[in-house]
Amino acid sequence: MNLSPIRALVTRPEPQAQTLTEAIRAANGQAWPMPMLGIDALAETQTMRDCLLMLDQFDSVIVTSRPAARQGVELIERYWPQLPLHCRWFAIGSSTAAELEQFAIKAEYSDTGADSEALLTLESFNHMQDKRVLIIKGVGGRQVLEEQLSNAGASVHTLDVYQRSCPAYERNAVVKKLESHSINVILCGSGETLTNLGYYLPMSYRADYRLLVPSERVARQAHSLGFQQVTNTGGASNEMMLQALAQICLL
């Protein structure tokens, strides 16, 4: 893979931003990390402990993101040296599944998309009446998932393990970075990352840059924010982003 025409701004949170930046550079592209999302672990509370202690009562555990996987499993391991055997694990997107695999957890995921809607198309979610489901996520995320599972008859609990924040930069910091490095591609891994990018990037600049996003939902959001050159990579993993960059090089 030769990404020599690529000059990319990588906006995903750390440590993923640095990892993807290095992967682009290793393929002869140029890239600069500028995270548009901060990830802060939540302090453990009694409510969280109560939820963790009843892990064996859930039929399914859904993990919504890489930070949720990392923070959630670290919490679970404090109380469950061996995971309950009957729990089925699910991940939103291949990158979240890969993060869980680092903890020896095999999670099912949809290969048709990296969002809640794609996950719910799995056959496993066809019959949810009276099933008990735990969703491990960040504060405020994935309400659609909770609502649809509840409507299907499942008993849904949520475990918030981190909160997101918008990093503080100078108001024109993104424009300076784009112009000083002649960047031609911006990589966004989530809708909230895109929202925060929009805060720093004036409308007049948005049509000028190729934007890579992980799902059709985020692509629609990007168009609504004034981005015109939008590529849906079909997932937020480094592999998906690199493949999309390679296709751009062929254009």
DSSP one-letter string for 26-86: HTT-EEEE--S-EEEEPPP-HHHHHHHHTGGG-SEEEE-SHHHHHHHHHHHHHH-SS--TT
Mean pLDDT for the stretch of residues 34-42? 95
CA distance 120 to 122: 5
**Residues 1-37 pLDDT 10s:** 899 999 999 999 998 899 999 999 999 999 999 999 9
Domains of the chain: 7-37+169-250 (3.40.50.10090), 40-164 (3.40.50.10090)
CA distance 142 to 82: 27
Mean pLDDT for the stretch of residues 120-139? 93
Mean pLDDT for the stretch of residues 135-143? 87
What is the total residue count of the chain? Answer: 251
| Rounded alpha-carbon distances, angstroms, from residue 198 to 118, 175, 192 | 25, 11, 10
**Residues 210-248 pLDDT 10s:** 999 988 889 999 999 999 999 999 888 888 899 999 999
Residue 144 confidence (pLDDT): 85
What tokens appear for 45 in the block? Answer: 């509370």
pLDDT over 80 (residue 142): no
Which contacts qualify for 218-227: CB closer than 8 Å, 24 or more apart? 218/115, 218/188, 218/190, 218/191, 218/194, 221/191, 221/194, 221/195, 222/188, 222/194, 225/194, 225/198
Torsion of CA 60, 61, 63, 64, to 10 degrees: 50
What tokens appear for 110 in the block? Answer: 């949809």
Torsion of CA 70, 102, 146, 38, to 10 degrees: 30
Cα-flanking dihedrals φ and ψ of residue 220, to 5°? -60, -40
Peptide bond preceding 15 in cis form (omega within 30 of 0)? yes
| pTM confidence score | 0.79
pLDDT over 80 (residue 113): no
For residue 141, what is the DSSP state? -
**CA pseudo-torsion sign 24, 28, 29, 33:** positive
